[in-house]
């Protein structure tokens, strides 16, 4: 950890597996010799996997631009490419005109850099108020581009393919936030592909950004599962909800807490369905029902594609987290079921699938989301 701080290197997949001591690091090539010398000095086994990721990032960028060029904004297709925040917002704004009785867009906040964060509401158009709500968000971590793609795919299934999925909207309304960490997400499109955190400055001028999924005000500040070091990828912020993007999601949860039944946060990567709690080995009230929801999704996927998902409390099946959004949803906002879905890996690092991989990841994941939604509707 001291090495990461000294040379400002990125720990890719840090603490992802509790039984795996290996870590992949991403570093400035100008610092590579110094880092390798330190690894040698401390007798740490290491292997250079790739000398320069820039050609790969460039090739993926060019593939993405070619694929997106087939579409004329505001029309987009989830499997057709990775879209910028502005492109996604333009698409969201077009939906109420295309689906005037079923799609509604609300501006629910602004990011640190002033970007608008939009919430899309999808209904079946029957006009019945105060239905229970399914809330889905994505891109809490900026580099996880496949997560907004999944949010867009869910939107397409509920709107463009309503007849095939109408049972998901008979009793529930869906609220979808395709991009939460909008500044960080935009930064990955324009400057640094593997950036994770927000873009708000910290107390350390050398280290920008906070991990949004450690910034929520339930069991915030625990050293197991977060860090008080601004240079770490799991930096929790100076205090709970000091990030406007986390405030926005908090406000959505609290505003609709009486109706909010299922909260699903889309992340990548790793084939996990993670339930509360993240901050302790103890299990929350209602855990069994949440477990059966996750089980429905995992079983549907394995039966359809042979894809294997691990599911259970985040603390037990992955690693400890504190101040995360799913713990807050259950612990404060009184959400009946909350979980994080870690989508499959793609590309070289895992966070960077090629456009050609999007369709396979999204169609498999939708099988699980659809099955979990049906179980939520049945169970709650």
Q: Which residues are catalytic?
A: 342
How far apart CA 180 and CA 175 sit, in angstroms, is 13
**DSSP code per residue over 335-363:** -SEEEEEEEPPBTTTBB---HHHHHHHHH
Coil, helix or strand for 120? strand
How far apart CA 105 and CA 198 sit, in angstroms, is 24
Kindly calculate the radius of gyration of the chain based on its CA atoms and give it in whole angstroms. 20
Per 3-state DSSP, the chain is made up of helix, strand and coil in percentages (nearest 5) of 40, 15, 45
Size of the chain, expressed as the number of residues it contains: 380
Q: Which of 201, 225, 189 is nearest to 323 (CA)?
A: 225
Coil, helix or strand for 121? strand
Torsion of CA 70, 269, 267, 232, to 10 degrees: -120
**Which residues, including other chains, have CB under 8 Å from residue 324's CB and lie 6 or more apart?**
213, 214, 216, 225, 278, 279, 314, 340
Q: Provide the β-strand partners of residue 135.
A: 175, 263
């Amino acid at each position: 950890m001291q090495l990461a701080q000294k040379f400002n290197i990125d720990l890719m997949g840090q603490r992802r597996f509790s039984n795996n001591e290996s870590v992949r690091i991403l570093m400035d090539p100008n610092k590579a010799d110094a880092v390798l010398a330190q690894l040698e000095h401390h007798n740490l086994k290491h292997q250079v996997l790739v000398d320069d990721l820039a050609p790969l990032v460039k090739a993926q960028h060019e593939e993405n631009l070619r694929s997106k060029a087939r579409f004329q904004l505001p029309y987009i297709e989830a499997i057709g490419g990775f879209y910028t925040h502005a492109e996604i917002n333009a698409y969201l704004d077009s939906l109420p005109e295309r689906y005037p009785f079923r799609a509604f867009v609300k501006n629910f906040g602004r990011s640190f850099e002033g970007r608008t964060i939009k919430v899309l509401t999808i209904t079946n158009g029957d006009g019945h108020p105060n239905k229970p709500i399914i809330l889905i968000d994505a891109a809490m971590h900026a580099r996880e581009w496949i997560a907004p793609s999944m949010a867009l795919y869910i939107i397409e299934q509920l709107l463009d393919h309503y007849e095939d999925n109408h049972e998901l909207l008979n009793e529930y309304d869906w609220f979808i936030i395709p991009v939460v960490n909008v500044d960080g997400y935009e930064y990955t499109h324009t400057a640094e592909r593997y950036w994770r955190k927000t873009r708000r400055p910290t107390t350390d001028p050398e280290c920008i950004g906070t991990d949004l999924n450690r910034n929520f005000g339930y069991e915030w500040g625990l050293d197991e599962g977060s860090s008080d070091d601004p240079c770490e990828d799991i930096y929790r912020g100076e205090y709970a909800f000091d990030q406007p993007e986390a405030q926005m999601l908090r406000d959505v949860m609290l505003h609709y807490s009486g109706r909010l039944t299922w909260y699903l946060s889309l992340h990548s990567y790793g084939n996990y369905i993670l339930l509360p709690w993240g901050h302790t080995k103890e299990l929350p009230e209602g855990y069994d029902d949440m477990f059966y929801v996750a089980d429905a999704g995992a079983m549907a996927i394995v039966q359809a594609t042979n894809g294997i998902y691990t599911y259970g409390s985040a603390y037990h099946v992955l690693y400890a987290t504190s101040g995360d959004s799913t713990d807050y949803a259950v612990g404060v906002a009184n959400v009946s079921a909350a979980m994080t879905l870690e989508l499959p890996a793609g590309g070289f690092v895992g966070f960077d699938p090629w456009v050609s991989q999007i369709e396979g990841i999204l169609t498999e994941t939708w099988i699980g989301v659809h099955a979990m939604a049906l179980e939520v509707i049945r169970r709650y």
